[in-house]
Structures are given as C-alpha cells and as structure tokens.
Amino acid sequence: MEFLANCLHDLTAIGPGGVPMVMAALFLAGLAGGATHCAGMCGPFVIAQSAAVADRAAAGGMLARISGAALAPYHLGRALGYGLLGALAGGFAGLVALGTGLRFLLAALLVLAALLMLAQASARIAALLPRLPAPRLPAGIEARMGALIAAPTGLRGVALGLMLSALPCGLLYGALAAAAATGSALGGALAMLAFVAGTVPALVGVALLGRFFGRRAGPGMRVAGAALFALNGVMLGAMAVRLVA
C-alpha cells in the first residue's frame, strides 16, 4: 500500500525540492515554447476561437475583449489534458523505478528531457531529430472540432482544449519526459500544469493580436526562447547529476 501511495503522490522521488525545480524548468519551457512554437502550431485554433467570440467581446468593451482573448475554458481543457498525461507519465515511471529498484531511470528521464530542451534551443540540433508527420485526425473528429471552435464557450471550450492536448508535439514530449522523472502521478501532473501556465501568455497574445503577435515577436523572441530552453536544459541536466551523485 505504501509503495502504491508513493507512486501516486510522493514528491521526493528525485530529492527534496526536485518537483519544484522541474516545475520551474517546465514553466520556463512553456514561456519559451509559447512564443516560439505554440503560437505557430496552436495559433490557428486560438485565432479561430477568438474570432468566434469577437462580436460579443467587442460589444462589451476592452475588458470583455481581454476576457474573450483569455479563452479560459480552452486553457482549462488544456490544463486537464496535459495534467492527466503528466500524471500517467509520472505514475508509470514511479511504478517502474520504485518497483524494480532502478531509480537511475528517473535520472535517465531527466537527461532525456534536458537533451530535448537543448535540441529546442538549437535549430541545427533540432534539424537532426526525426520529424513527426503532420497529425491527421479522423474526419469525424475534425468535424466535431470545427463545431467546438465555432462556439468555444463553457464546456465546449474545455472539450476543445482536451482534444487538442493529445496532438503530437516535440516540445510536449520533452515536457512529458521531465514530468515522468518526478516519479509520481501528483508530481507529473503538477509539472505539466506549470508547463501549461507558461504557454498561456503567448497564446493570449495571439488571441488578442492575431498573426501580428508572431510577426512582432519574431527574431527577438526566438533568441530569448533559445536562451530559456538552454537554461532549463542545464537545470534538468544538473538535477540528473545530483540524483545519481
């Protein structure tokens, strides 16, 4: 029973303060990726939702416009989806690592996450990584998604966020590797929630300013993003070294 409890909610599998450090690293990754990756990949979904509520938001003034751009139901759905993925990854890794005594597995996951984050920081390294084909969804799911985007409020927005959180994404895989390294379901969920929180500012910017955000952010954001990815890659690598030292 104690073993199962550890896999569910132990926050010390990678040492004292380990989970907060992973959360900080993934929040930085979310900030960097939100402006340089998510804004492009998820931007069309965000812009479409913003356009769907634009008339009602415009009628309510600036505060209503900002509230509409926040797309709170959508981001809540993303948080639920990513949190669930993080909980599954962390719980499974903890089950394997603690059940077999192979605790170095958690350090290996941290190293993997560090390498994936460093790859995000370097266009040359990222170009060497295998690229996933563009995700193709069944026609029925695409039709359902279109209906949700047309009216992305309340539970419909939450459902859309849940659906889109399952799309393949290289940055997501790096974040999940770090979440798995926490060694527990609770730790993995918290890590992914920190990641989602980091992506929100850029996506709200896209909803407010549309494609103008991406053009204005451009080169400066890419340089800053590369620096943040490099920083959290170093942080995760240092945690791996501390874990096996």
What is the C-alpha to C-alpha distance for residues 109 and 48, in angstroms, rounded to an integer?
36
At a CB cut-off of 8 Å and minimum separation 6, what does 160 contact? 45, 49, 73, 74, 77, 145, 148, 149, 152
Summarised one tens digit per residue, pLDDT across range 84-118 is: 999 999 999 988 887 676 668 888 888 888 888 88
Residue 1: strand, helix, or coil: coil
19 by DSSP, 3-state: which? helix
Residue 186: other Cβ atoms inside 10 A: 19
SS3 of residue 169 by DSSP: coil
Is there a contact between 153 and 53 (Cβ–Cβ < 8 Å)? Answer: yes
Tokens read off for 56:
């009602």
Q: What pLDDT is recorded for position 132?
A: 43
The DSSP output letter for 210 is T
Q: What is the pLDDT of residues 46-62, one digit of tens each?
A: 777 776 665 555 555 55
Q: What is the pLDDT of residues 196-225, one digit of tens each?
A: 999 988 888 777 776 555 555 555 666 666
Provide DSSP, 21-41.
HHHHHHHHHHHHHIIIIIHHH
Phi, psi of 27 (to 5 degrees): -65, -45
